[in-house]
Amino acid sequence: MFKFRRHWSRYPLVPVLVSGIIGTVAFVLFMLTSEWGVGWNGVFMGVAGAGVCAPDALLGGSVAVSLGEADGRNAGAAVTGLINGCGSLGAVLEGPLVGYVSDRYGWNAMFVLIIALSSFGSVCVFKACLTQKRHALRGKSPGGLLLAEEHS
């Protein structure tokens, strides 16, 4: 966590964005190299999983609290609950959606859907990064956010 706080404390969403982009690219490479064998499939699926799942600790934890507490709003718990609630809804919908799409259209369509949703998530985080930068340029708190560790 030291490197994160040291290098990205002003813009904590940037590592989330980079990780999401890495995960999306790894899913694309997984599809393109699917005939290369199990080894390459394992490598790209591992990178995709790490890229897509790694930001969860930040988005569901310190960044969410910082977003809620920026500008003295004291809504850190509410923002964290909203983000984690959306994640829980995704977990509930995931099983039936994967089953339906893979049965109806095949597994290739499922990976295309994963790539599309991951790309959409990266675009949303990019927009949040731009908003965060605008707040920083207006002279508000660093990036409009403070990490939870900096509060204590």
pLDDT digits (tens, 9 = 90+) for 28-79: 999 888 889 889 989 998 998 888 877 776 677 767 777 777 767 788 888 8
Mean pLDDT, the chain, rounded, equals: 78
Average pLDDT score over residue span 101-122 = 90
Q: Is the Cβ–Cβ distance between 55 and 15 less than 8 Å? A: yes
Residue 124 to residue 78: CA distance in whole angstroms? 20
- Residue 115: enclosing H or E segment and its boundaries? helix 107-137
pLDDT digits (tens, 9 = 90+) for 87-105: 788 889 888 999 999 999 9
